[in-house]
Amino acid sequence: MTQENPAPAQAGVHDQEVEQLFDAGGPLGQAVSGFRPRQSQTEMAQAIAEAIAQQGSLIAEAGTGTGKTFAYLAPALLWGGKVIVSTGTKNLQDQLFLRDIPTVRKALNTPVSVALLKGRANYLCHFHLERTLQNGRLTAREDVGYLREISRFAKTTSTGDKAELARVPETALVWNLVTSTRDTCMGAECQYYQDCFVMKARREAQQADVVVVNHHLFFADVALKDTGIAELLPSANTIVFDEAHQLPETASLFFGETVSTAQVLELCRDVLAEGLAHARDGAAWPQVVAPVERAARDLRLAFSQDIVRLAVGQIAPSSPFFPALDKLMSELEGMIVVLQAQSERAETIEQCRVRAHELSAKLMAWKSASGAAPAQVEEEQQAVLWVEAFSTSLQLHKTPLSIAPVFSKQREGTPRAWIFTSATLAVKNDFQHYTSQMGLHDAPARTWPSPFDYGKQALLYVPDGLPQPNSPGYTDAVVDMALPLIEAAGGRTFLLCTTIRAVNRAAERLRAEFEARNLPFPLLVQGEAGRTELLERFRSAGNAVLIGSQSFWEGVDVRGDALSLVIIDKLPFAPPDDPVLAARIEALERRGLNGFVHHQLPEAVITLKQGAGRLIRDETDRGVLVICDPRLISKPYGRRIWQSLPPFKRTRVAADVLAFFNEPAGIGHTH
């Protein structure tokens, strides 16, 4: 008898069981305060239970408020076998591990064990902590205090996860000195191997029934085999990707290659320290590293602008970039010769030699690929080569044009269930863009609408009379239009911009206007504090205005009255000068497709749906979404965009917005 036969019958049984789970009197209803049955949640859970039973794939788009986390957790915990849940961010990981999974596990009374697995940079490393305490190579005064805190933490923590030590900010530079990277980990040779927090986390993950990871970790492992997921995958029966709309971008990052001048400088720093510590008489170490450091800095200085993103074909042949790259490669070779001669003196010098060799090979590979003609490369392996310069470092990237072939290969292995879920995967109920990016052509895709009453709870306002988005005074015009609305809303506003320049200009204008008009709204600006801290301040103020770009468009949850107005300055089309985007469009056009219609438009719609999703977070929220961009009305594609958004009531009249805010809070309100 073949394996497939019993699956449909089994799935049918699950349908009834799922219905009972999500019923008002069921286990979730009894255990979770405020739980109400929602048809879309029950149906989504049934579809997931069926995919698990049949070891199939499912693409599940669920509107905000469906309760998709419970919809996948309940069937996964009951019937999923060993489950890997991958989320978009570390914050979501912590929320699943600390809050959502324990809630569902308790409600369903399922004795599953759960483990949290993060990338190695999140775990304290005993070896590097010890070395930093001895060397004391600290540059800033606050780092000395932070190091003391970390040293104390190391003695009491059972996980070594830096998220547990709230007193030291996640962004503090000292963390880089007390965590390991793949390059600087000694592995089984390390004297602290038995107590290693990374190894401990991986052992727990191997034994657990449910493992919570994030997309970065998942794909870093598939590409580098460095995070312990390679050992988990063979035994996993079910893999759930939450926030699955982020996968194409994350996977592109990891299936590509990046090498940077920062890695070279870090290597030089370590070579100098280890050389002086273990082979002081072996070489004049400062003279060994100085030419390599100089060559790395000169490579960055080959571009005079502050921020640069250029495809290799856009770099002028006369640019100092290519000679500077050759110079760096030859200086690095010189350092490798010295390291080779001294590598037997200490394990750490040998490790530096291996790192130097790997960096040299990566630089060589990038340079030789930059000379290859596209016709010589098979379609599956086509990649775009580009450089990106930041204020102090330069990165050389090789990014695949499509991740579909690599990802399909992942799914061909052992039969198991693959669930992809997010609030934003389709463009007007069409999943074509997502399935072609991911190579999921054979996967069934379904969408469940949000249970919210958008017609009553929300208003979409597209202002009349704004200039074209590329005109010089555009951000000022947006601020002028926004001010009366912000006042009417009593603050409680997100202003989402598509560029950092717009964020800074809007902040400058609003700061001056609030002062001149004596408005009491706290102004929070991306970059002036960490994202988590800004959101905490926004929630607790209750009348703040937050200005942010990309990182506030998604994964941000502010319920209730603190957020009532979301203003989006422009349709979020990716910048046309992005080298990866340009190469993808060119590849689509070679196949006779339209790059704008088949790539840029669906990408912008999905981003816009994420931004719009910040506004209404539960049944009692009310709010206004303002999309300033006149192209939403004037361009033929505008209709396709607004039809992809939730069914808000729509207006072009500012008075309607003011009236909405003046209405008695009774509408849709239960506060």
Tokens of 664: 């008695």
Burial class (CB in 10 A: 0-12, 13-18, 19+), 30: exposed
Mean pLDDT of 218-223: 75
Task: Say if residue 669's pLDDT is above 50.
Answer: no
Task: For residue range 224-271, list pLDDT tens digits in order.
Answer: 665 556 677 778 899 999 999 999 988 888 888 899 999 999 999 999
Task: For residue range 572-591, list pLDDT tens digits in order.
Answer: 998 877 898 888 888 888 88
Tokens of 414: 């052992």
Q: Which residue has the tokens 């506003």?
A: 493
Tokens of 62: 């669920």
Cβ-count burial 370-386 (b if 16+ within 10 Å, e if not) = beeeeeeeeeeeebbbb
Strands 417-422, 565-568: pairing is unpaired
Range among 402-411, 490-499, 574-583, 658-667 rated most confident: 490-499
Q: State the pLDDT confidence band at 626, using cuts at 50, 70 and 90.
A: very high
Bridge partners of 179?
Answer: 124
Amino acid identity, position 42: T
Distance between CA atoms of residues 130 and 109, nearest Å: 43
Amino acid identity, position 105: R
Bridge partners of 83?
Answer: 210, 238
Task: Say if residue 11's pLDDT is above 70.
Answer: no
Task: For residue range 107-159, list pLDDT tens digits in order.
Answer: 999 999 999 998 888 999 999 999 888 876 666 778 888 999 999 999 999 99
Quickly count: other Cβ atoms within 10 Å of residue 116's Cβ: 24
Across 57-190, the runs of DSSP E, i.e. the strands, are 57-62, 83-87, 114-116
Kindly list the distances between the CA atom of residue 511 and the CA atoms of 68, 295, 507, 537, in Å, as whole numbers in the listed order: 39, 43, 6, 17
Task: For residue range 309-331, list pLDDT tens digits in order.
Answer: 899 988 988 999 999 999 999 99
Mean pLDDT of 619-625: 90
End-to-end CA distance of the chain: 58
Angle between helices 500-517 and 474-489 (to 10 degrees): 50
Q: What share of the chain is helix, strand, coil (3-state, %, to 5)?
A: 55, 15, 35
Domains of the chain: 6-27+36-119+200-253+404-448 (3.40.50.300), 120-198 (no CATH), 256-400 (1.20.120), 454-662 (3.40.50.300)
Q: Which residue has the tokens 């379904």?
A: 446
The model's pTM is 0.84
Query: Mean pLDDT lowest for which of 349-353, 598-602, 611-615?
Result: 611-615
Distance between CA atoms of residues 390 and 299, nearest Å: 12
Distance between CA atoms of residues 426 and 609, nearest Å: 10
Nearest Cα to Cα of residue 150 among 168, 123, 171, 137: 168
Nearest Cα to Cα of residue 212 among 125, 70, 91: 91
Quickly count: other Cβ atoms within 10 Å of residue 568's Cβ: 24
* DSSP 8-state assignment for residue 360: H
Strands 394-400, 257-260: pairing is antiparallel
Task: Find out whether 122 and 218 touch, Cβ atoms under 8 Å.
Answer: no
Distance between CA atoms of residues 332 and 293, nearest Å: 9
Q: From the CA atom positions of the chain, what is the Rg in Å? A: 27
User: How many alpha carbons fall within 13 Å on the CB side of residue 96?
Assistant: 30
Task: For residue range 428-469, list pLDDT tens digits in order.
Answer: 889 999 999 999 988 999 999 999 999 999 999 999 999 999
Task: For residue range 515-528, list pLDDT tens digits in order.
Answer: 999 999 999 999 88
Distance between CA atoms of residues 103 and 109, nearest Å: 10
Task: Say if residue 18's pLDDT is above 90.
Answer: yes
Task: Find out whether 386 and 25 touch, Cβ atoms under 8 Å.
Answer: no
- Pick the more confident residue, 266 or 380: 266
Tokens of 493: 């506003």
Four-CA torsion 573, 577, 578, 581, nearest 10 degrees: 70
